């Protein structure tokens, strides 16, 4: 997964668009500029999602899991 795909739940925490697709980028940007309520909702959803999935505790848990796998003979 690319970083954008890892961090984005399409339609909830953002929108996934092919980098070369300028038309799709433009449509989404215009859409978000016109719908301030949705823009704010997506921003809030993104913060909640990131705090849940990328908290310090979660990252420590992931590193500990990796170390446990390495420790096993």
Q: Global pTM?
A: 0.64
Q: What is the dihedral of CA 61, 56, 3, 42, to 10 degrees?
A: 120
Angle of helix 22-34 relative to helix 36-53, nearest 10 degrees, comes to 110
Q: Give the pLDDT score at 73.
A: 65
Q: Give the pLDDT score at 9.
A: 87
Across the 73 residues of the chain, what is the mean pLDDT of every consecutive 10-residue run?
Answer: 78 90 95 94 91 89 92 73
């Amino acid at each position: 997964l690319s970083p954008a795909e890892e961090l984005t739940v399409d339609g909830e925490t953002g929108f996934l668009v092919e980098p070369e697709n300028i038309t799709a980028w433009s449509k989404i940007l215009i859409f978000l500029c016109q719908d301030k309520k949705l823009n704010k909702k997506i921003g809030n959803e993104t913060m909640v999602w990131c705090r849940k999935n990328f908290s310090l505790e979660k990252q420590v848990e992931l590193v500990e899991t990796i170390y446990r796998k390495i420790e096993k003979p």
